[in-house]
């Protein structure tokens, strides 16, 4: 089996997990996504105004977690992580819908509202249909 190749990383003002909003529409900042040089050709066809699905590797997550209380609410009913959007899970893949605000020639994409910390690896980008 092949391994996942990270195609870039996030540059964000969020430096700690505790600073992250729970969802992108809850006050998440604009960020830049630096695409590594060997993958920049794959950006052809993307432009400002395009909505994308950004897949990230939530590298600071707890991969041993199987149960959680949704939205960190102590009064919520405990659920399995597969029934939630918790970042703590066996394979901490983040899925984010965002709008491209700009792309420069150095493979840097500015995108709207992303709730991940600085340095988060990027797995893939897909068009939002």
Domains present along the chain, CATH in parentheses: 8-127 (2.40.30.70)
Q: What is the pLDDT of residue 85?
A: 78
Q: What is the rounded distance in angstroms from the CA atom of residue 26 to the CA atom of residue 18?
A: 14
pLDDT per residue over 71-124, tens digit each? 777 888 998 998 887 888 899 999 999 999 999 989 999 998 888 889 999 999
pTM over 0.75? The answer is yes
Q: What is the rounded distance in angstroms from the CA atom of residue 45 to the CA atom of residue 34?
A: 17
Nearest Cα to Cα of residue 112 among 122, 99, 126: 99
Which residues are CB-contacts of 56 (< 8 A; sequence separation ≥ 6)? 10, 93, 94, 96, 116, 120, 121, 122, 123
More confident residue, 17 or 31: 31
Q: What is the pLDDT of residue 27?
A: 59
Q: What is the rounded distance in angstroms from the CA atom of residue 10 to the CA atom of residue 71?
A: 23
- CB count in 10 Å sphere of residue 122: 22
Q: What is the pLDDT of residue 42?
A: 96
Q: What is the pLDDT of residue 17?
A: 67
Q: What is the pLDDT of residue 18?
A: 63
């Amino acid at each position: 089996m092949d391994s996942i190749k990270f195609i870039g990383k996030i540059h964000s003002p969020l430096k700690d997990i505790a600073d992250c909003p729970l969802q992108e529409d809850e006050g998440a900042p604009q960020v830049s996504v630096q695409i590594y040089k060997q993958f920049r050709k794959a950006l052809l066809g993307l432009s400002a105004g395009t909505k994308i699905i950004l897949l990230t590797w939530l590298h600071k997550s707890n991969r041993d977690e199987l149960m959680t209380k949704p939205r960190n609410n102590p009064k919520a009913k405990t659920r399995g992580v597969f029934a939630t959007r918790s970042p703590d899970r066996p394979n901490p893949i983040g899925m984010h819908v965002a709008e491209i605000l700009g792309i420069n020639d150095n493979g840097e994409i500015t995108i709207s509202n992303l709730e991940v910390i600085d340095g988060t690896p990027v797995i893939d980008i897909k068009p939002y249909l």
